[in-house]
Amino acid sequence: MVNPYAINPAEPGASHEARQGSQLPMRLLFTALACCTASIVIRWVIMWLTLEPEYFQTYLNNLWQLGGYWLSALAVDGCSALLLARYYLQRHSLVDVSRPALLVALFVGLYLIAIFVVGLLYNLLWAQLAPSLYENASGLSPTLLMLPLNLVSFMLATLLPLWLSLYLMRRAGQFQSGLTQVSRGEAALAFGLLFIVFYTKLLTLLPTHMISPYGMEWLLGLSNVVGLVYGLVAMIAAYRSLPAQLARLAVGRLLASVLLCMAIWLLVAAVLAFVLLVALYAGSEFLVLGLMVLFGILLLAMLWPLTHLSLRWVYRPLAA
């Protein structure tokens, strides 16, 4: 009897030939970005059609803050799709899937179903928990208090559909096994996306009065835009630091590299923020403005050597 779940063997002699890695992770990345954008638009259309004008206006008044959540959601969904797909292919020694379009379509369908069901349950729980969270926050961000629920929602609405799509196509599709290569462009993109994820998540977890003092909500939006610039610089620096072809994408070491880079970078940022507070206490507005511009340029410039050092110390890339 033929095993219906068996993976088709590779062609003779192909197992020792290094091949270019599949473009499936990149396809799933852009698919996840498109699905996340569609879910945001659909949610706003539903609110526009169902909510009373005064309640809908409340959401419009908080666009700066909501924009940060949207950017974080896009970065998380895209980055997770890229890393999970590449890890899954490497974990099972697979080079490519025979029907990538079918897999992408399956992922889209499962994603939209999951985001609808999980979003409905999430909204019901949020309606029950939100009043008590805002009353007992004690200066903490409600997003920080909702972190466990947000993590479960992310796993069910994003990771589960993607893993299930890969798993079902692995059982039904035809694959080739053998050595694979991953371009430095994909690894650098993953590094930059991870940096943006950590940066935007940190902003959403901070108390509102810290990131938007004196009601300056636009400062939160500006901080998110700056985060995109930081992520772009980190991606370019990683691209210049990595060899042209990697034997594989070591997801764990890449994650540790980004964490080390972010930790050192935040330590420097904390020291500079203390200097800003001292200057602000001195009462010199022009000095504070000049220092903010100078420190912003300094933090941007420091990303280049920190990215290089973190990849060299932790990731230790080897050419394929």
Segment 42-97, tens digit of pLDDT: 887 877 777 677 767 767 776 767 777 888 889 999 999 999 999 988 888 777 77
Distance separating alpha carbons of residues 212 and 197, to the nearest angstrom: 20
* Token pair listed for 196: 């943006």
Q: Characterize the bridge pairing of strands 19-20 and 180-183.
A: parallel
Is residue 13 one of the residues assigned to a domain? no
Identify the band that residue 178 occupies on the pLDDT scale cut at 50, 70 and 90. low
Using the predicted structure, report yes or no on whether residue 233 has a pLDDT greater than 50. yes
Identify the band that residue 145 occupies on the pLDDT scale cut at 50, 70 and 90. low
pLDDT in tens, 262-306: 999 999 988 887 877 777 676 666 676 777 778 888 889 999 999
Final residue belonging to a domain, choices 180, 211, 244: 180
Structural domain containing residue 299: 183-319
Mean pLDDT of 197-212: 74
Question: Are 70 and 155 members of one domain?
Answer: yes
Residue 319 has a pLDDT of 61
Final residue belonging to a domain, choices 161, 180, 199: 180
pTM of the full structure: 0.83
Final residue belonging to a domain, choices 180, 195, 221: 180
Is residue 1 one of the residues assigned to a domain? no
Q: Which residues contact 264 (CB under 8 A, 6 or more apart)?
A: 306, 310
Contacts 24+ apart (CB under 8 A), 58-63: 62/217, 63/221
Question: Are 167 and 297 members of one domain?
Answer: no
DSSP assignment, residue 217? T
Residue 192 has a pLDDT of 95
Residue 198 has a pLDDT of 93
User: How high is the mean pLDDT of the chain?
Assistant: 79
Q: Which residues contact 114 (CB under 8 A, 6 or more apart)?
A: 156, 157, 158, 160, 161
Question: Are 45 and 111 members of one domain?
Answer: yes
Question: Are 55 and 149 members of one domain?
Answer: yes
Question: Are 168 and 27 members of one domain?
Answer: yes
Question: Are 130 and 190 members of one domain?
Answer: no
